[in-house]
C-alpha cells in the first residue's frame, strides 16, 4: 500500500504541474467568462430603459397600479391624448406608446405606435402593468403578487411518465442533462491520460526496473489512482468555475432560467449512483486499452471510440422526450456503456422508477469490477512487450497456471 501511494502521488504531481494541464484547467473559466461577457453585451444591446407611454380612451387606467420595479423595468408614462404622446415619441423621450380604445375592455385590443420597435424589457414591463390593472378590483398587494408570480417551479407528470414544465425550463430542471454533457467532456479529456498509463515506461525501457521495485498490482493501481485524482481535480475546479459563472450571470441577467438552480434529491442520488461506477468502468477500459496496444499514438486514436456509446442516447433524444419509460429508453438505461447518459436524460424529461436506477447502478458496479480486472490482466500480459500488441483472444484466454498458482 505504501508503494501504491508513492506511485499515485508521483503520477498526480507529474501531470498537475505540467503546462498542458494548467492550460486545460484554465480553458474552461476563460470560455465561461467569454460566454458570460458576450451574453451580457447581447442583453445590454437588447434593452432600452427609456419610458413607454400610453393613451387610455377606455377609462380602465384612471387610477393605475404600477408594477414592482425589477431588472429591465422602465417608466410607464400616461398621456392625455395621442398628440402629446406623438410629440414625445418624435422627441425621443419614449420608445413608443400604447393606445387603449374606448372598447378595450370588450375587445382587449391595443394599438402600439413607435418609430423603432420597443425593446423586450419595455414591452414585458408594460404587460405586467396591464395585468396588474386587470386586477384593480383586488387588493393592490394581491395584484403585485400576481404580476410577480412565476410558474417555473410547476412540473406536471403525465400518465405516460413524461414531465411537462408549466413554463420554460430553468437551469435547475436541466442539470441532469448538463451533468451528462460534463461527464462526456471529462471522459474525453481523461482519455489521453488513461491510455498512456504505461506508455512512457515502455518507451524509455524503464518498465523492467520498475516492476522489480513494485508489484504489477501496486504499479497499475498507483498509476490509475493518481490519474483519477488528476481528473477529479480538473472536475472540481471546473465545477467551482461554473458556480462562480452562474452566480455572476444571476446578478447580471436575473432571468427566470437562472433563478432556480436546484435539482431533486432523488435525481441527484441517481446521477451519483450511476456516474461514479461508470467513470471507474470507462477509466479501467481505457487503461486496459493503453496496456494492450503497441504504440501510444494508436491508443489515443482508439480511445475516442469510448465516447460513441455515450453519444447514442443524445442521438435518440426525441425518443427519450416522447416516451422516457419506453423499451428503448429502458434498455439503454440498463446497458452499462449507455446507462449514465440515458438515465440523466430520462431524469430530466421523465420519472425514472427506483428499481431501474438500482439495477442500472448494480450492473455498472459489476462492469466496473470486471473492467478493473481486465485492466490488471492486460497490464500483466503487455508490460514487457515492446512493439507488439496483446490480442483479444490472448487477453480473455484461460491460461494454465504455474504449479500451485491460480489461473491468470
Along the 408 residues of the chain, how does pLDDT read in single tens digits?
777 788 788 878 877 887 877 887 777 778 777 776 776 676 667 778 889 999 999 888 888 878 777 666 888 999 999 999 999 999 999 999 999 998 887 888 889 999 888 888 788 888 888 887 877 666 655 555 555 544 444 344 444 455 544 445 555 667 778 788 888 877 777 766 666 666 666 666 666 666 667 776 677 777 777 877 887 887 788 778 877 777 776 666 655 555 555 666 777 788 888 888 888 888 888 877 776 765 666 666 666 777 888 888 888 888 888 888 888 889 999 999 999 999 888 888 778 888 998 999 999 999 988 888 887 777 777 665 555 566 666 666 665 444 444 434
Give the HSE-up count for residue 369: Cα atoms under 13 Å, Cβ half-sphere. Answer: 5
Together in a domain, 211 and 327: yes
**pLDDT score for 305:** 76
Together in a domain, 213 and 322: yes
**pLDDT score for 294:** 58
Q: What is the 3-state secondary structure (H, E, C) of 173-224?
A: CCHHHHHHHHHHHHHHHHHHHHCCCCHHHHHCCCHHHHHCCCCHHHHHHHHH
Query: Which CB contacts under 8 angstroms, 24+ apart, belong to 210-216?
Result: 211/383, 211/384, 213/3, 214/3, 214/4, 214/7, 215/3, 216/376, 216/379, 216/380, 216/383
**pLDDT score for 153:** 40
Which residues make beta-bridge pairs with 4?
A: none
Residue where a domain stops, chosen among 149, 183, 210: 149
**pLDDT score for 144:** 54
Together in a domain, 120 and 189: no
Together in a domain, 70 and 211: no
In a domain, 157, yes or no: no
**pLDDT score for 361:** 92
In a domain, 250, yes or no: yes
CATH number at residue 68: 3.40.190
* Maximum Cα interatomic distance, the chain, rounded to a whole number of Å: 106
**pLDDT score for 159:** 47
In a domain, 164, yes or no: no
Together in a domain, 317 and 340: yes
SS3 160: coil
Where residue 103 falls (left for φ over 0; alpha for ψ -120 to 50; beta otherwise) is alpha
**pLDDT score for 298:** 65
Together in a domain, 319 and 358: yes
> Residue 355 in contact with residue 326, Cβ under 8 Å?
no
In a domain, 329, yes or no: yes
Contacts of 108 by beta carbon, 8 Å cutoff, 6+ apart: none
The pTM (predicted TM-score) of the whole model is: 0.60
In a domain, 396, yes or no: no
Residue 8's domain spans which residues? 2-39+170-391
User: What's the domain count of the chain?
Assistant: 2
SS3 302: helix
In a domain, 369, yes or no: yes
Amino acid at each position: 500500500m505504501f508503494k501504491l501511494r508513492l506511485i499515485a502521488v508521483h503520477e498526480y504531481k507529474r501531470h498537475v504541474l505540467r503546462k498542458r494541464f494548467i492550460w486545460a484547467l484554465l480553458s474552461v473559466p476563460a470560455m465561461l467568462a467569454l460566454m458570460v461577457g458576450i451574453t451580457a453585451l447581447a442583453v445590454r444591446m437588447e434593452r432600452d430603459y427609456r419610458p413607454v407611454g400610453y393613451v387610455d380612451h377606455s377609462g380602465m387606467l384612471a387610477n393605475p397600479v404600477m408594477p414592482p420595479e425589477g431588472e429591465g423595468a422602465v417608466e410607464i408614462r400616461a398621456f392625455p391624448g395621442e398628440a402629446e404622446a406623438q410629440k414625445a415619441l418624435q422627441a425621443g423621450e419614449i420608445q413608443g406608446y400604447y393606445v387603449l380604445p374606448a372598447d378595450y375592455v370588450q375587445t382587449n385590443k391595443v394599438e402600439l405606435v413607435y418609430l423603432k420597435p420597443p425593446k423586450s424589457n419595455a414591452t414585458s414591463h408594460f404587460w405586467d402593468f396591464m395585468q396588474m390593472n386587470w386586477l384593480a378590483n383586488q387588493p393592490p398587494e394581491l395584484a403585485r403578487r400576481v404580476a410577480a408570480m412565476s410558474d417555473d417551479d410547476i412540473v406536471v407528470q403525465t400518465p405516460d411518465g413524461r414531465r411537462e414544465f408549466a413554463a420554460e425550463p430553468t437551469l435547475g430542471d436541466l442539470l441532469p442533462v448538463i451533468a451528462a454533457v460534463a461527464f462526456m467532456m471529462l471522459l474525453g479529456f481523461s482519455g489521453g491520460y488513461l491510455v498512456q498509463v504505461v506508455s512512457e515506461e515502455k518507451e524509455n525501457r524503464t518498465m523492467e526496473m520498475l516492476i522489480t521495485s513494485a508489484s504489477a498490482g501496486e504499479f497499475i493501481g498507483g498509476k490509475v489512482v493518481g490519474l483519477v485524482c488528476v481528473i477529479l481535480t480538473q472536475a472540481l475546479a471546473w465545477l467551482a468555475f461554473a458556480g462562480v459563472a452562474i452566480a455572476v450571470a444571476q446578478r447580471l441577467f436575473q432571468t427566470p432560467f437562472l433563478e432556480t438552480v436546484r435539482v431533486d434529491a432523488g435525481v441527484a442520488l441517481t446521477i451519483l449512483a450511476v456516474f461514479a461506477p461508470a467513470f471507474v468502468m470507462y477509466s479501467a477500459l481505457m487503461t486496459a486499452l493503453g496496456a494492450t496496444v503497441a504504440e501510444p499514438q494508436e491508443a489515443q486514436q482508439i480511445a475516442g471510440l469510448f465516447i460513441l456509446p455515450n453519444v447514442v442516447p443524445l442521438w435518440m433524444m426525441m425518443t427519450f422526450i416522447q416516451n422516457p419509460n419506453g423499451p428503448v429508453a429502458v434498455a439503454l438505461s440498463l446497458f452499462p456503456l449507455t446507462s449514465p447518459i440515458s438515465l440523466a436524460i430520462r431524469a430530466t424529461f421523465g420519472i425514472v422508477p427506483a428499481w431501474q436506477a438500482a439495477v442500472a447502478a448494480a450492473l455498472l458496479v459489476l462492469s466496473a469490477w470486471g473492467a478493473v480486472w481486465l485492466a490488471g490482466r492486460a497490464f500483466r500480459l503487455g508490460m514487457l512487450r515492446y512493439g507488439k500488441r496483446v490480442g483479444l483472444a490472448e487477453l480473455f484466454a484461460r491460461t494454465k497456471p504455474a504449479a500451485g498458482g491460480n489461473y491468470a
